[in-house]
Structure 1
Amino acid sequence: MEQQVVVLQYEGGIRVIVCEGEFDQDTLRPLTEAGMAAAADPDVTRIILDVSRVVFADSSMLNLMVRLLRSGRLVLAGPVPHQLDRLLELTQARDLFPTAESVAAARTL
């Protein structure tokens, strides 16, 4: 599956990063660049990571998600795919991440 990372900007400093495809240590760079840019931007009040189209994620993506979580502005938008949900469950990290069922719902949290 082809990987894609799309960054969308909304009013109120909301930045949405849409992830599609597989994310591992070899393919994480575009997502890392988009995420770190959002975290470093003082005008960004919320980072929404749309993970609904992620088909594979490994510990390197989880590590990036934790780094973004430290900004205090991260919300995951789902629905969270089974494989990513399983990774969060196995690592006991599921409860760390604020999660909404959609990008629209995450914008209102």
Structure 2
Amino acid sequence: MKLRDYLSIPYIVQAQPFEVSEGVWVRRLSYPELGDFVAEGQDVEQVYLEIERLRYAEILKRLKAGDPPPVPREPLETADPGWWAEFLGISETVEGLLDKDAQELAAA
């Protein structure tokens, strides 16, 4: 599988309200199938963008470490990880890497 395939896997996103102090609530999003990382904040749309940035970073980190992420579902054929990376403002992170497979990324 190539990086673009891993980035196209539809992992389940978990969203929940979380009380950070009495009467102060944030939205907390995570990808429990992928790793132990979360994004939280007041604006759920901004929190979603942050968890997506973290998802990209986690997948790339794992592939470079030779520890491919789980593949609980087939990659979506209609996904465009290059466009999404551009939208997230992290295109430089995956530039030139989307068509590399796990072995190539681990060797880099």
Same fold (TM over 0.5): no
Rg: which structure is higher? Answer: 2
> What TM-score do the two structures reach when normalised by structure 1?
0.37
Question: RCO higher in 1 or 2 (8 Å CA, sep ≥ 6)?
Answer: 2
